[in-house]
Amino acid sequence: MADPSDAPVGPQAIIRGMATRTSLSNVFPLGSRLNERGRLEVGGCDTIELAKQFGTPAYIVAEDDLRARARAFVQAGAEIGGADFNVVFASKAFPCTAVLELFAEEGLWCDVASGGELWLALNAGFAGERIVMHGNAKSEAELAIALDAHVGLIVVDNFDELDRLERLLDGANDDVVRRAHVPADGTAHVPSREMPHAASPTAAHAPRSPGPHVAQGPQEVLIRVTPDVRGETHEKISTGQANSKFGFSIADAAAAIARVEGIDGLSLAGLHAHVGSQLLELEPFRREVAELAKLGDFAVWDLGGGLGVAYTESQPRPPSIEEYVATLLAAAREHGMDAPGKRLLIEPGRALCANAGVTLYTVESVKRNVSTWVAVDGGMSDNLRPMLYSATYEAHVADRFGGSTPCVLAGKHCESGDVIVREALLDDPRPGDVIVTPATGAYGYAMASNYNGVPRPPVIFCREGSARVVVRRESFDDLISRDVR
């Protein structure tokens, strides 16, 4: 008789099993808690001790949270019966090698949107055939690298891109291909065997030596279609409306399909769409699928990403991973997209990593005028989202949760708009306090900068009470490391 413990665990059970170990909201990483000293623990590590050991600002990531969410996505598709259902990590959300390696280990695919992201994915161990190449303005050099890496799918965004692909495939731009690999200074733009071991991929993933593209059968492509579907989200992260910089309009889709079919060396696999990010309702996804289905029958359907997450305890509850996957698969099934021989892809980004991370800061000053201003040692150089599109976060003193003092949590940068949390409730904040902002595992590291000459923070993975640096803190020397004198 089978041991009940060997039975598959449902996706929500995976999440709930970790959540039961926390006394905090779902904004924090799974398994987080306040320990006996009233201090926040992430991945079993005391955040006050983490701040002492690694300094601040610092990105703290619960490794088991990342794995749990990856497994929940994969298992949700398997349980609902997606025969060829694939989860593709939108790497722009957290393009950190350790994160990419983890998701590669979990069997995910990888979505990249530049030559640099493709380099990172290959370096982290993703096989070329499990990479989806995106971008609305791919250069010929980037397309040459993608062709040379034999990526699984190139998502074609516009007619100019098709012209570039046709030139590359017929050998008309061999010089561009060569320059994509070896620029004037002799260094490589993609991982190569000549690079130090720590900076190069496995031999199986290393691109060939510089030279024109050599095809291994036709390159499969998807046509990105803008379905004229808008979700409720900030205009700067809405992509599915008709007036968008991304993709072909519904009216141009047929011409794009015909153009691909006329290019030797390309094979049209199917269609792609993405309606926007941080969506907290499911109806736009249903409408997206219905609009795509009107364009024909294809072997591959990439439905994009967009599932929102909880940034504050007070915001509306996001759909669960299980609800999201079930909605997409039901809509796909209704329109015949999951028939035998069909492949479905989804591209979650923040839903895989946002709530796995928190950022730690140290309070440098507290001043009171009209408001109480709590200034910390980071800000827009490590989390641009509040300034870029008014993203909201919450904040806490890491060893005194439950504060009631209304504060403005401000960064250290020379901008009045450098405000991390406009309305924070903190417990009597004072210089030296460690402040934690949860849900920073997506787009903080990715958008970090050196504004005001501030070195970028480290990334610290925490698991079962052990912490390890996976990206070191930048130094002042790093700020001048690329200077040519």
pLDDT at residue 1 above 90? no
223, amino acid identity = I
Residue 435 has which token pair? 């402040």
**Tens-place pLDDT, residues 179-194:** 454 344 433 344 442 3
pLDDT number for residue 227: 83
pTM over cut 0.85: yes
Nearest partner of 126 among 106, 154, 155, judged by Cα: 106
pLDDT at 171: 81
Q: What pLDDT shows up at residue 339?
A: 86
Instruction: State residue 16's pLDDT score.
Output: 59
Give dist(CA 64, CA 61) in Å, integer. 9
Give the integer Cα–Cα distance in Å for 309 and 392: 12
Summarize pLDDT for 126-172 with one digit per residue, the tens: 999 999 999 999 999 999 999 999 999 999 999 999 999 999 999 85
pLDDT for res 195: 32
How many Cα neighbours within 13 Å face the side chain of 383?
33
Residues 457 and 427: beta-carbon distance below 8 Å: no
Residue 23 pLDDT class (50, 70, 90 cuts): low
Count of other CB atoms within 10 angstroms of residue 49: 13
Span of 125-134, 309-318, 468-477 with lowest mean pLDDT: 309-318
Quick one: pLDDT at residue 95? 98
What is the SS3 assignment for 226? Answer: strand
Catalytic member of 45, 110, 407, 414: 414
| Residue 204 pLDDT grade (very low, low, confident, very high; cuts 50, 70, 90) | very low
Residue bearing the bigger pLDDT, 322 or 198: 322
Active-site annotation holds for 96 = no
Domains of the chain: 4-63+355-479 (2.40.37.10), 64-351 (3.20.20.10)
pLDDT of residue 243: 67
Give just the sign of the alpha carbon dihedral 337, 340, 342, 346.
positive
Q: What mean pLDDT comes out for the span 273-301?
A: 90
Mean pLDDT of 356-364: 98
Helix (H, G, I), strand (E, B) or coil at 302: strand
Q: Which amino acid is at 17?
A: G
Cα–Cα dist 447/18, whole Å: 29
Cβ atoms of residues 359 and 57 within 8 Å: yes
Condensed to tens digits (0 to 9), the pLDDT of residues 425-464 reads 999 999 999 999 999 999 999 999 999 999 999 999 999 9
- The pLDDT confidence band at residue 228, using thresholds 50, 70 and 90, is confident
Look at residues 356, 439, 353 and name the one whose alpha carbon lies nearest to residue 61.
356
Average pLDDT along the chain: 87
Amino acid identity at 175: D
82: confidence class by pLDDT, cuts 50, 70, 90: low
Q: Is the pLDDT of residue 22 over 70?
A: no
pLDDT score, position 381 = 98
Nearest to 415 by CA among 388, 443, 442: 388
Give per-residue pLDDT as tens, 163-173. Answer: 999 999 998 55
